[in-house]
């Protein structure tokens, strides 16, 4: 059953995780198309390499040079022409006529029966096309080496000009979430700066009369607000601009004022709390006034209630873009799980990334895991290795949505899919690593 986020969904219905993700991706695609139509030059900026980590590349990076720029040796060894291998003798003996170092080409000739001692990265002389690794050779005397003919094939251990990258061909594709290796690649091409999409501005707020800021005393029934700190850490991992709107009390006037201010400044608003069916939850009422938002009951654990949609452009916002809205649950673990499952990919997609979903791996469950079919579960766990070297995983203990310690101790999620039931010890399960995500 498909649901449009433009029409609120009854909390008595239950939306599958995959359905929710598809609905979010569809709406984000529409928002991206609208933003492109505005054609705002400020949406792209040029940054130096040391400022480009975790930014989204706005245009293909074309290599200004061939890489390698010339044929060179792939390892330390001895370079010679492969015609020396055209013999029935099982062993080859060659005279050493000199040495080639990286950055210091050999200027002499290498003729049949001769070889050149060569270092990794050193240019191959025009007379040579093959390198025998040093460890496969033995010295006959200071001027000759010997090796078995079957230890090397013609053309082996030589890196050809343009083998890695060809001049004027793409080296890094647009939409890439730039990693340290990408920055190193750009530097190796002599490129000092990159065109990237501007950082998204993401506003965050926590709603609830029970919440207290750090440093305030806790009275009866009150708790410290942890969700904004978790969200700040999650957003910093994506190198986004964060607007902290603080704690907002459970009354319509305060919430509407906070939402309007956030919509004026931000591309995305993420709230936590205020999306269930409680009598003091005014988010739904305000959303009906400010935009098109669906209130979802999702078949997942933790993180059942969630709101998603758009806030209409507000006066004073330039350019007049809509604001993407995520209303996450109030429980601390549920906030992080729903961010991982729905928000992170949407933020990357909205920011122009081509790859938005984290890769899954698999591991063997050390212990049985109880699971009811009909919902997707995200169990907090520790990934390790068994005595046989195979990956294993075990839960951190109690999996309650309010037990933030279960996230702090874990290094991964065990993802138990919609139709899965109980998991037996020794069974393989899907795992998503926290590293790079949370």
User: For the ranges 9-13, 22-26, 187-191, 388-392, which has the lowest average pLDDT?
Assistant: 9-13
Is the model's pLDDT at 243 over the cut of 50?
yes
230 and 333 together in one domain: yes
In tens, the pLDDT along 120-177 reads 999 999 999 999 999 999 998 879 999 999 999 999 999 999 999 999 999 999 999 9
Among 135, 159, 183, the domain-final residue is 159
State the residue range of the domain holding 137: 72-159
Amino acid 251: pLDDT: 82
DSSP H stretches of helix in 292-343? 332-338
Is the model's pLDDT at 276 over the cut of 70?
no
232 and 106 together in one domain: no
Contacts with 30 (C-beta within 8 Å, 6 or more apart), sequence order: none
394 and 299 together in one domain: no
Amino acid 281: pLDDT: 58
Residue 64 lies in a domain: no
Among 325, 350, 375, the domain-final residue is 350
Tokens of 217: 């005393």
309 and 268 together in one domain: yes
The total domain count for the chain is 3
Output the average pLDDT for the chain. 90
What is the average per-residue pLDDT within 294-298?
87
345 and 383 together in one domain: no
User: How many other CB atoms are there within 10 angstroms of residue 131's CB atom?
Assistant: 27
28 and 110 together in one domain: no
242 and 317 together in one domain: yes
In the 8-state DSSP scheme, what is residue 298? Answer: B
The pTM for the full model equals 0.86
What's the first-to-final CA gap in the chain, in angstroms?
31
Angle between helices 252-265 and 283-290 in degrees, nearest 10: 50
Q: State phi, psi for 161 to the nearest 5 degrees.
A: -55, 130
What is the average per-residue pLDDT within 82-86?
93
Q: 352: left (phi > 0), else alpha (psi -120 to 50), else beta?
A: left
CATH number at residue 372: 2.40.340.10
332 and 207 together in one domain: yes
287 and 411 together in one domain: no
In tens, the pLDDT along 22-51 reads 999 999 999 999 888 888 888 999 999 999
32 and 91 together in one domain: no
Q: Alpha carbon of 406 to those of 158, 320, 395: distances in Å? A: 51, 41, 9
CB contact at 8 A, 248 and 254: yes
331 and 215 together in one domain: yes
Residue 166 lies in a domain: no
In tens, the pLDDT along 397-406 reads 888 877 888 8
Residue with tokens 């270092």: 119
Tokens of 329: 């649950």
Strand partners, 165: 67
Among 350, 384, 411, the domain-final residue is 350
């Amino acid at each position: 059953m498909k649901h449009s986020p433009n029409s609120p969904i009854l909390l008595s219905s239950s939306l599958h995780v995959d359905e929710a993700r598809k609905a979010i991706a569809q709406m984000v695609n529409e928002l991206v198309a609208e933003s492109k139509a505005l054609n705002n030059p400020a949406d792209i900026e040029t940054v130096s390499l040391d400022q480009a980590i975790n930014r989204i590349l706005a245009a293909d990076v074309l290599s200004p040079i061939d890489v390698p720029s010339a044929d060179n040796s792939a390892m330390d060894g001895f370079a010679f022409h492969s015609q020396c291998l055209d013999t029935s003798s099982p062993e080859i003996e060659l005279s050493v006529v000199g040495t080639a170092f990286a950055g210091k080409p050999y200027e002499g000739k290498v003729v049949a029966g001769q070889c050149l001692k060569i270092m990794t990265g050193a240019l191959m002389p025009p007379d040579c096309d093959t390198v025998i690794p040093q460890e496969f050779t033995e010295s006959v005397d200071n001027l000759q080496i010997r090796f078995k003919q079957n230890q090397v094939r013609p053309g082996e251990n030589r890196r050809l000009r343009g083998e890695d990258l060809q001049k004027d061909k793409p080296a890094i594709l647009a939409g890439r979430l730039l990693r340290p290796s990408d920055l190193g690649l750009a530097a190796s091409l002599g490129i000092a700066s990159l065109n990237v999409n501007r950082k998204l501005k993401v506003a965050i707020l926590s709603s609830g009369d029970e919440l207290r800021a750090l440093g305030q005393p806790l009275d009866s029934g009150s708790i410290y607000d942890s969700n904004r700190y978790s969200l700040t850490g999650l957003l910093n991992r994506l190198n986004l601009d964060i607007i902290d709107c603080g704690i907002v009390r459970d009354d319509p006037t305060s919430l509407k004022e906070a939402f309007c201010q956030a919509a004026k400044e931000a591309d995305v608003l993420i709230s936590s709390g205020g999306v269930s069916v409680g009598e003091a939850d005014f988010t739904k009422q305000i959303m009906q006034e400010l935009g098109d938002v669906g209130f979802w009951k999702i078949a997942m654990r933790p993180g059942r209630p969630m709101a998603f949609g758009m806030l209409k452009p507000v006066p004073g916002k330039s350019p007049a873009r809509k604001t993407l809205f995520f209303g996450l649950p109030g429980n601390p673990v549920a906030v992080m799980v729903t961010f991982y499952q729905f928000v992170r990919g949407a933020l990357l997609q909205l920011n122009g990334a081509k790859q938005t979903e984290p890769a899954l791996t698999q591991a063997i469950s050390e212990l049985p895991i109880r699971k009811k079919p009909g919902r997707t579960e995200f169990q907090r766990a520790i990934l390790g290795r068994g005595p046989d070297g195979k990956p294993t995983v075990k839960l951190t203990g109690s999996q309650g949505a309010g037990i933030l310690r279960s996230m702090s101790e874990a290094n991964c999620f065990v993802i138990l899919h919609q139709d899965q039931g109980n998991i037996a010890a020794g069974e393989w399960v899907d795992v998503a690593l926290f590293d790079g995500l949370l």
